[in-house]
Structure 1
Amino acid sequence: MEILRMRSAFSFFLLYFFLFCDISLSFSPVDHYLVNCGAFLDSTVDNRRFVSDSHDSTHAHLSSPQSFSLCAGTLLPALPPIYHTARVFKAQSKYVFDVKDPGTHMVRLHFHRFSTPQLNLVDSQFHVLVNGLVALTNFSGGNSLGPRVTEYLLCVHSEKLEITFVPAGKSKFAFVNAIEVISAPKDLIPETAQSLNGDKLESFEGLNQRAFEVVHRVTVGGAKVTPFNDSLWRTWVPDDEYLKSNQGSTRVYFSGSIKYQEGGASCEVGPDNVYNSARLIESKSASIPNAILSWEFPVTEDYKYLVRLHFCDIASVSLGLLFFNVHVNGHLVFKDLDPSAVTNYMLASPFYLDFVVDADPSSVVNVAVAPSNKSMAHTVDAILNGVEIMKMNNLMGSFDGKVPVESVLKCWPTRKSGRILLPMIALVCLLLSLSVFMRRRVDKADSVPWSKLPMEDPETTPKKGKQQLPSKV
């Protein structure tokens, strides 16, 4: 009986220890700012507390000469509360965040255009700068059908991170609904990747020092993954919209445990809900299917892109049975990929491959998997679990066009000309008034005050003198 009690106590201790370790080892960002812009109260979304920017903060500061809060009227009940309010800027303004943990940071900007009797956010047009990079130009907040979130990954070495809003065009105002600034895990962006140069693969160094805009984040074969189910609060959309060729493919879902390993993909790189589903090509006979799985993602030309492909063999019944080829933009980037060898011979263990590529002439990035010469009959012959495509800033330091940050900032003084012109006009009017006043005083000093003239002058009469009086006044 005593031995049974000791075993029970020891089992309880192990359970508590592993649970505690799992919680303590989960990712906890050092820099973690969630801002509810334009709101007077904090809001909670997916168990995350967005703090009102009306509150005084020692670590996040709003610098704006002209801004005000705008509250929407009736919105869809399912819309998160952060989209019920907005901070509107009538002049160049910025948020400044303290950076305690240098390195890669995630920045998310939330926009939702709504209309009020005072202002219609659809009429906005503005530029956005993120830590010295041009993030958006002539932006109007997305579409009116729903919120839009733009996400950036930046390497920050300074003690401050700044997000600047510059009104543009005829709208004369900018806005934002919410902001996230979060320090990322150190393994999210590695130092190196493979760069596709024609048909050749070359080493791309310093990847973790670059900046990225997330263009596509897709879970293959599975349902939408919301921030609530992602340790970095990301959204992964289903791949159906991008799937170009799925002849002979099937979906697969996995109910077991995803086995993360050091050196492979961590749960921060990709969550369970991405790795436990996939699309695959499977041989169901003695022959290998002549099939290919391909996806097309629209992108903007004249930029380089980081293409991250997520893999996790959740379908094979045994190790060493899966071999397949990987193609990007029509080029073979990995021949005879063997997930077992990559994962030290462990099934359901995730990993990813990174490639730096250019957009093809049709402004798309194409990704495909297909059986290889080593593929076998009666087994899985290709698999893919997730895709991320991130735009890299161009030589002008921009994610949106070829206008450098200096030109964006210079465009604002012309917008302030009215503010400068009015005081100058007032000053000129004041000087003119003072000049007229002084001239009148001089004129009066040179004239003779009216008085009764001497009677000895027979040619001058008081009547004539009185007629001249009004002309001197």
Structure 2
Amino acid sequence: MDYLPQNSKFYLLLLFFFLQLLFSFILSSAFSPVDNYLIDCGSNGDLTVDVDNRQFVGDYSKLGLVFLLVTRSISLEDQSPSLGSSSPLYHTARVFTKPSTYEFEIKQKGNHLVRIHFRTLSSTSFNLSNALFHVSANQFLLLSDFTGHSPAGNPILKEYLIWVDSEKLVISFIPSSDSSLAFVNAIEVISAPGDLIADTARLVKPQGIDDYTGLTKQALETVYRINVGGPKVTPFNDSLWRTWTPDVEFLHLNAASKTVYTSGRIKYLPGGASREVAPDSVYNTARVMNDANVPKPNFNITWNFPVTSGYRYLVRMHFCDIASMSLNLLYFDVYINGYLAYKDLDLSELTGQVLAAPYYVDFVVDTANSQSLSISIGPSSLSNPSRVNAILNGVEIMKLNNSMGSLDGELSLGPIMQSLPREKTSGFMPSVIGISLMIAIAGVVYRRRTEVRDYVAWSPLPVDASERNSNSNYRC
């Protein structure tokens, strides 16, 4: 049996100690949001649910009850759960028969990640497949006439970036006029890192490129989050608990590209992308041109994404040169919907002459009447004839709210609130007019009986603090 020399053992111990320190540093420097609300809706107990090493509290527990502002709700538990088929977050749901809200105190104003989880449960008391409802967050309409049901019965996760400049974030669930039910399985409200969304982007138009400003104040819905050339990235491996899906189903021509990867260190630089923008798992894989080094390739690499027409979209493209052997060899062009979005993109220059350093570029594009959004990368006129290539590591596509503050349809939040049925309270309220002078003169007390109709317009914020203590809770 071979034994290591004494000095080798010392160096191994030193290396082990160094790795421990490095691991501890990474854990201590991980993103820790100021606002971090994780709610397991429909759960009555004080036990927390562990999902991706995060603790979700029940919305009817001692900790969670402060967020739930309703006069009546139903706690629903799945009566026939499929073991191991879904997250424990989808084993319970909170059901509403009237407009209801969750209210979160905001300590750090700015952009917040809002994730809302839906899955229809099996119950003899309620058929959640018949639910039809609206969801709003402060002044933005997130979902309109939403069912919360997928054909295969799979969970639905809706993710948004919401700008909050007030002390409260109020998320409301409003049954549609065609339904009496709304429901939700889980809610996440997380303050976003300051560098997650920049205020400006490149506006891609048929006439050319312009500046787009005011992006941070928009509400955005995540439509696609793609790991180009790599496998699925789960929330466990993302510092913001995001999921990145493979790009294969969106790739126009698989033969046009090939995948590359690196096991080396990704070099995050000041002014570039951080791990909160995208994790290592995204930047250490990519697609490059399959015919690299061919002087005149006759194709680009193209991805096609189905979208909803009539909206503007934020397209974030992630780049990290893990393919080049040295600097200043990689130049390429970027196209969105066939329009030139970035000419002669030079990652060596953008990253300050550092290879394997991540960088991202934000584009805003108007889909007008199109129901498809295409992204292409291809050779640049600056490419060296012997070094023709292009690279892409990741793509995010987010829908921007329209002029009515909506992310789902042409209806704004105001008309929805006005269309709600008003609760009527009929009765006689006696009004006794006791005026001493009239009594002395006429000796008669006039009594009027006035029928009063009490119009109560629903507000997302309760005006009576006692309302919080009047929740009726039922388990089905």
Which of 258, 269, 275 pairs up with 2:283?
275
Does the residue aligned with 1:381 lie in a helix, a strand or coil?
Answer: coil
Aligned counterpart, 1:102: 109
Query: 2:229: which partner in 1?
Result: 221
The residue number in structure 1 matching 2:369 is 361
Between the aligned partners of 2:183 and 2:127, the Cα distance in structure 1 is 11
Partner of 1:28: 32
User: Which consecutive unaligned segments of at least 5 residues does structure 2 have?
Assistant: 1-6, 429-476
Q: C-alpha offsets along residues 57-88 of structure 1, whole Å, 9 cap, x if unaligned?
A: 48951111120100112222231111011000
Instruction: Give 2:76's aligned residue.
Output: 70
**Alignment check: 8 A CA contact 1:246 1:292 kept:** no
Deviates more, 1:97-106 or 1:316-325: 316-325
The 1:325/1:61 distance shift into structure 2, 3 A limit, reads: same
Query: Which deviations, in whole Å up to 9, do the C-alpha atoms of 1:170-213 show, x marking residues without a partner?
Result: 32010000000000000000121111232321112222222211
Counterpart selection for 1:197 from 177, 188, 205: 205
1:284–1:377 CA contact under 8 A, matched in 2? no
Partner residue, 1:244 = 252
Mapping 1:367-386, distance limit 5 Å: 367-379=375-387, 381-386=389-394
Aligned partners of 1:12, 1:222: CA distance in 2, in Å?
Answer: 30
Specify the code of the residue in structure 1 equivalent to 2:316: R
What is the alpha-carbon distance in structure 1 between the residues aligned to residue 294 and residue 312 of structure 2? 42
The 1:243–1:12 alpha-carbon spacing in structure 2 relative to 1, beyond 3 Å, is closer
Larger-Rg structure = 1
2:432 aligns with none
Structure-1 separation of matches of 2:82 and 2:317: 35
Between the two proteins, what is the percent identity of the paired residues?
47
Contact 2:256–2:291 (Cα < 8 Å) also in 1: no
Residue 173 of structure 1 corresponds to which residue in structure 2?
181
Q: Residue 293 of structure 2 contacts residue 389 of structure 2 at CA under 8 Å; is this kept in 1?
A: no
Shift, 1:252, TM fit: 1.3
**1:46 to 2:45 alignment:** no
Between the aligned partners of 1:285 and 1:389, the Cα distance in structure 2 is 30
Tell me which residue corresponds to 1:258: 266
Counterparts of 1:58-457 in structure 2, within 5 Å, are 60-77=66-83, 78-145=85-152, 146-283=154-291, 287-379=295-387, 381-412=389-420, 414=421, 416-417=422-423, 420=424, 424=426, 427=427
Structure 1 pair 322/136, CA: closer, same or farther in 2 (3 Å)? same
Instruction: Evaluate the alpha carbon distance shift between residue 125 and residue 14 of structure 1 in structure 2; reply closer, same or farther with a 3 A threshold.
Output: same
Distance 1:215 1:301 in 2: 13
Q: Which moved more, 1:57-66 or 1:227-236?
A: 57-66
TM-score after normalising by structure 2: 0.83
Q: Distance in 1 between matches of 2:107 and 2:179?
A: 36
Cα gap change, 1:347 to 1:285, in 2 (>3 Å): closer
Q: For CA contacts below 8 A with separation 6 or more, give which structure has more relative contact order.
A: 2
Alpha-carbon distance change, 55 to 187 in structure 1, aligned in 2, over 3 angstroms: same
Contact kept? 1:112, 1:144, Cα under 8 Å: no
259-268 or 403-412: bigger deviation? 403-412
Give per-residue Cα distances to partners, 1:289-330, cap 9 Å, x unaligned. 222111111111221111100111111111111111100111
Residue aligned with 1:241, SS? helix
- Cα distance between partner residues in 1 of 2:14 and 2:248: 49
Q: Secondary structure at the match of 1:208?
A: helix
Deviation at 1:339, TM superposition (A): 1.0
Q: Which is worse superposed, 212-221 or 93-102?
A: 212-221
> Residue by residue, what CA displacement relative to the aligned partner does 1:130-168 show, whole Å, maximum 9, x if unpaired?
121100011000314200001110111111000001011
> What SS does structure 2 have at the residue aligned with 1:326?
strand
Go from structure 1 to structure 2 and tell me whether the alpha carbon gap of 1:163 and 1:17 turns closer, same or farther (over 3 Å shift): same
**Structure 1 residues 380 and 260, CA gap change in structure 2 (3 angstroms):** farther
C-alpha separation in 1, matches of 2:100 and 2:372: 35
3-state SS of the aligned residue for 2:174? Answer: strand
CA shift, 1:348, in A, is 1.1
Secondary structure of residue in 2 paired with 1:244 = coil
1:446 aligned partner:
none
Task: Say whether the 8 Å CA contact 1:282–1:379 is kept in structure 2.
Answer: no
Q: How far, CA to CA, are the matches of 2:326 and 2:285 in structure 1?
A: 18
CA RMSD of superposed structures (Å): 2.5
Separation (CA, whole Å) in 2 of partners of 1:219 and 1:64? 40
Deviations along 1:235-292, one digit per CA (max 9) or x if unpaired, are 1111122112344311112211111111111010011111111111044555342221
**Which residue of the partner structure matches residue 467 of structure 2?**
none
Partner of 2:431: none
Map Cα deviations across residues 319-348 of structure 1 (whole Å, 9 max, x no partner): 111111100111111111111111111111
Provide the secondary structure at the position in 1 that maps to 2:129: helix
Distance 1:177 1:287, change over 3 A: same
Give the Cα–Cα distance (whole angstroms) in 1 for the partners of residues 95 and 357 of structure 2: 47
Kindly tell me the number of residue pairs found equivalent between the two proteins: 421
In structure 2, how many angstroms separate the alpha carbons of the residues matched to 1:120 and 1:64? 21
Single out whichever of 299-308 and 190-199 deviates more from structure 2. 190-199
Higher helix share: 1
The residue number in structure 1 matching 2:3 is none
